[in-house]
Amino acid sequence: VKKWVKKRVTILGSTGSIGKQAIEVIQAHSELFEVVGLVAGHDADALAVQARELNVDRTGLGSAAAEEMAAFEGADVVLNAVVGAAGLRASVAALKAGKRLALANKESLVAGGDACTRAAMEGGGEIVPVDSEHAAIAQALQGVERSHVKRILLTASGGPFRTRTDLSDVTPDEALAHPTWSMGPKITVDSATLMNKGLEVIEAHHLFGFEYDRIDVVVHPQSAVHGIVEMVDGTMLLEAAPTDMRIPIQSALSWPDRLPYEANLDLEALGSLDFEPVNMQKFPLVEIAYEAGRCGGLYPAVMNAANEIAVQAFLDRAIGFDDIAGVVRESIDEIADEVSAEDLAKSDLDAVLHADEGARDVARRMIEKRTRLVGDRS
């Protein structure tokens, strides 16, 4: 009889929305998983409470602690639920150390997709997606012959402003009221601008190796179908599940096994599944992300960093909702003018971290310019 050895899990970003749900999943399957390390950003009190409850003595705060914890030899799985490019070094460290990386931190792959891929090859680590769309695609692709796949489609709820025509006076509170998912503030704003879908397109490119013309986005307001694989003969495999992140978290931890979970998608209550195209004029960040992804090199890292700064400025009420895309676009253009094509084509970790920092400075300048203009006008 094979003795089941518990999987030892470290959770980076344990005090956030995904981190807390990961703890619930692990507690519900305490015979299979145990937490051996916890890292948060700055909330030391919440971290201490979690550490006591889970009986974990290995904890840390900040990106450097996350990077160190990611390589901890006493862990099998690293769940990276840090928000933003602050999680990149930890993803690389986990992959280099040969871990299973259960990845919620999509910004890691957007900014440093090539660096992550190289780290996985060097160290033998593997990425299992936690993002629901990518978890859906990974499941739908299981056992499918690659040459049979025409394209993959990521669904988008459309966010809170799908039917709103004027986005010039959107407030942070309105942007934070997502219709179908309850998530941390940064990804909730990204879902309102649809940048979240742009980030996910780049994430999918790195995870599944499809070129950008074989990755599409479709708006699906019910958020019941999360990902679609279309075959060369027109057949589509749709993966549907309740809007509950504990499902893809559990799936990433147990992959390729599947564990029971009390949840069901009530098809009769749902009634219908609607699909519509993305309005690229209204949500320009989707197109910007495709462009950055296609340019490759440091472009996605620059775009991601500028977006992080712009989202925070919007939440701080320094810029309007519809300024976010402008700040991102102008930051990319400025850096493309300043930096040589040769340097922009780089994709090693140091270059990415340098570009990330530079793009944050440029984005801050763009925001200052805008606030000065508004000040001059009023």
Residues binding ligand NAP (CB under 6 A): 13-19, 39-43, 62-63, 66, 81-83, 86, 104-107, 131, 181, 183-184, 186-187, 245
- What strand order describes the sheet that includes 236-240? 215-219, 149-156, 225-231, 236-240
| Nearest-approach distance from CB 119 to ligand NAP, in angstroms | 18
H or E stretch including 101?
Answer: strand 100-103
Indicate the residue type of 170.
V
The rounded distance, in Å, linking the Cα atoms of 138 and 362 is: 36
| Nearest-approach distance from CB 82 to ligand NAP, in angstroms | 4
The rounded distance, in Å, linking the Cα atoms of 356 and 44 is: 26
The rounded distance, in Å, linking the Cα atoms of 175 and 104 is: 21
Identify which of residues 193 and 344 has a Cβ nearer to ligand NAP in the complex.
193
Q: HSE of 273 in the Cβ direction (CA atoms, 13 Å)?
A: 14
**Three-class secondary structure of residue 129 per DSSP:** strand
| Nearest-approach distance from CB 60 to ligand NAP, in angstroms | 8
Identify which of residues 19 and 300 has a Cβ nearer to ligand NAP in the complex.
19
| Nearest-approach distance from CB 87 to ligand NAP, in angstroms | 7
Identify which of residues 71 and 104 has a Cβ nearer to ligand NAP in the complex.
104
Identify which of residues 149 and 289 has a Cβ nearer to ligand NAP in the complex.
289
Identify which of residues 82 and 285 has a Cβ nearer to ligand NAP in the complex.
82
Residue nearest to ligand NAP according to CB distances in the complex: 16
Q: HSE of 141 in the Cβ direction (CA atoms, 13 Å)?
A: 20
Tokens linked to 92: 């690389």
Identify which of residues 65 and 366 has a Cβ nearer to ligand NAP in the complex.
65
H or E stretch including 351?
Answer: helix 349-377
